[in-house]
């Protein structure tokens, strides 16, 4: 890392990231997160929002293969980023509250296998993934709590990560990369207001984050300069958008492991803030069954959690599929009453079926979980039965967090589920190809045309 104060934070970050050693385990984990992201991306084609994006993107050729004369890497990163974030099952870095995969990996694949780029081999691409996750997470963990109240961290911090990944893909030197970060940072945006009506803007946040980084790196390659002090300047990112941020945190602990190791993989298709409560509600459902009770015996359920979860996910009566994904009450009801929590758990039929139980579920702030957030994401539930008995379950971790990770078998099962949802004829082949990237196997070609044809009609 560069300690000299004569260097901007962007320049220090670039030096820090590019000087970090990469070992076999880093490549393995990067390949696993690539698999999770690609599975989410392709499954996103098969959704109401995905088909709407397809109707816009397909006639414009934004899904054409790299190397094609009509290939637009920026617009392809945009549409792939949108798809990745639609189903709410993509990864999450807890310390920064960002979804790095949906902005970084679309950028990498949009630039991969293009003869105009430096290299499209698997290790080159996985290095770009590691660089992109690192930049997104380091900036995101420094922005402060107040930033997250108004701004969607994935949308504001993601362009930096996408630019960092794209700069590696394009072989930019440190000076060019600083300009790429400057141009990406000035495009940082993404507001939470869409939650008021369940609007689809959150998908655009991921897409624009991916696109901004790619375009910024491509422009830097052609000499278009950006503010190298975009992070710490007097009229820059932290001054404008991070009231309680601490920009020095961006370059702290340079010898820590890659931040991809601190990123969580989501097992359920809802907001990550709902996952601790889902985990313990599933345990409670088994406990009720063992005791001979059913959900009809439940008088009330109280969820204890941290403030950020309440801010985003306190929705007693979700009126749409998207609102249900951001409803602690609905998610806990689904975990208690349904055989499993999957895509169908949030549709109109499930919302109607679970409505009576959802109305009996409340949410409260717990200092226990608030003081440990965001280092850990915990939750507790107290269930009161109609006979007056009560029981409590709590967790300090969410399933899929680094302290409670999915096994590779779990990850493959999730990828199979997503890729089958996408309509792929042979999910196992793509899964094997992506995991083989950890051994520098051939760079996979995404089956975009297959997914497009299955979901465009």
User: Is there a contact between 423 and 455 (Cβ–Cβ < 8 Å)?
Assistant: yes
Question: Domain 272-395 - what CATH class?
Answer: alpha beta
What CA–CA distance (Å, rounded) separates 36 from 377? 21
Per-10-residue mean pLDDT of the chain, 457 residues long, equals 70 98 98 98 96 95 80 96 96 95 97 75 96 98 96 98 98 98 98 91 97 98 98 98 97 97 95 96 96 95 97 94 94 96 94 96 97 93 96 94 93 95 94 96 91 86
Q: Which residue ranges does the chain devote to CATH 1.10.4100.10?
A: 9-267+406-456
Q: Kind of pairing, strands 263-264 and 298-305?
A: unpaired
Q: Which residue ranges does the chain devote to CATH 3.30.1330.120?
A: 272-395
- Cβ neighbour number for residue 367 with a 10 Å cutoff: 9
Name the nearest CA neighbour of 15 among 137, 141, 177: 177
Q: What are phi and psi of 264, to 5 degrees?
A: -100, 150
CATH code assigned to 9-267+406-456: 1.10.4100.10
Cβ-based neighbours of 295, under 8 Å, separated by 6 or more: 285, 288, 336, 337, 357
pLDDT value for 119: 66
Q: What are phi and psi of 219, to 5 degrees?
A: -65, -40
pTM passes above 0.75:
yes
pLDDT value for 377: 93
Question: Pseudo-torsion of CA 227, 233, 239, 242, nearest 10°?
Answer: 70
Supply the angle between the helices 408-422 and 24-43 in degrees, to the nearest 10: 30
pLDDT value for 2: 40
User: Is there a contact between 333 and 357 (Cβ–Cβ < 8 Å)?
Assistant: yes
What CA–CA distance (Å, rounded) separates 332 from 338? 10
Cβ-based neighbours of 32, under 8 Å, separated by 6 or more: 265, 408, 411, 435, 438
- Cβ neighbour number for residue 356 with a 10 Å cutoff: 12
Q: What are phi and psi of 385, to 5 degrees?
A: -90, 165
pLDDT value for 40: 98
Q: What is the DSSP string of 324-337?
A: HHT-HHHHHHHHHH
pLDDT value for 442: 87
């Amino acid at each position: 890392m560069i300690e000299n104060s004569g260097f901007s934070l962007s320049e220090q970050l670039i030096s820090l990231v590019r000087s970090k050693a990469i070992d076999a385990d880093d490549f393995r984990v990067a390949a696993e997160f690539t698999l999770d992201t690609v599975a989410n991306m392709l499954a996103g084609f098969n959704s109401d929002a995905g088909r709407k994006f397809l109707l816009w993107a397909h006639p414009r050729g934004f899904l054409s293969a790299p190397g094609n004369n009509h290939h637009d890497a920026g617009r392809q990163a945009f549409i792939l980023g949108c798809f990745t974030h639609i189903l709410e099952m993509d990864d999450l870095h807890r310390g920064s509250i960002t979804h790095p995969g949906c902005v970084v990996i679309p950028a990498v694949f949009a630039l991969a296998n293009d003869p105009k780029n430096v290299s499209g081999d698997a290790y080159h691409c996985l290095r770009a993934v590691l660089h992109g996750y690192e930049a997104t997470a380091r900036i995101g963990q420094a922005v402060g709590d107040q930033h997250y109240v108004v701004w969607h961290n994935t949308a504001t911090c993601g362009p930096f990560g996408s630019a960092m990944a794209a700069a590696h893909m394009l072989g930019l030197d440190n000076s060019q990369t600083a300009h790429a970060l400057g141009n990406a940072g000035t495009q940082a945006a993404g507001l939470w207001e869409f939650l008021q009506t369940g609007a689809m803007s959150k998908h655009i946040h991921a897409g624009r984050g991916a696109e901004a980084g790619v375009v910024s790196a491509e422009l830097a390659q052609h000499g278009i300069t950006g503010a190298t002090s975009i992070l710490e300047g007097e009229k820059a990112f932290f001054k404008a958008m991070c009231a309680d941020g601490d920009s020095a945190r961006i370059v702290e602990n340079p010898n820590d492991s890659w931040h991809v190791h601190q990123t969580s993989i989501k097992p359920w298709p809802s907001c990550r803030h709902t996952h601790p409560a889902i985990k313990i509600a599933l345990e409670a459902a088994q406990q009720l069954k063992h005791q001979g009770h059913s959900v009809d015996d439940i008088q009330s359920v109280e969820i204890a959690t941290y403030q950020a979860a309440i801010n985003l996910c306190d929705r007693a009566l979700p009126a749409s599929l998207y609102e249900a994904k951001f409803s602690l009450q609905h998610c806990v009801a689904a975990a208690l009453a349904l055989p499993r929590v999957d895509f169908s758990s949030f549709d109109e039929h499930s919302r109607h079926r679970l409505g009576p139980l959802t109305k009996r579920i409340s949410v409260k702030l717990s200092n226990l979980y608030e003081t440990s957030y965001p280092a850990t994401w915990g939750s507790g539930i107290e269930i009161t039965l109609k006979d007056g008995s009560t029981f409590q379950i709590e967790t300090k971790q969410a399933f899929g967090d680094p302290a409670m990770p999915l096994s590779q078998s779990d990850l493959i099962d999730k990828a199979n589920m997503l890729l089958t949802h996408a309509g792929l004829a042979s999910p196992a082949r793509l899964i094997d190809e992506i995991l083989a990237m950890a051994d520098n196997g051939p760079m996979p070609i995404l089956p975009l045309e297959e997914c497009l044809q299955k979901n465009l009609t």
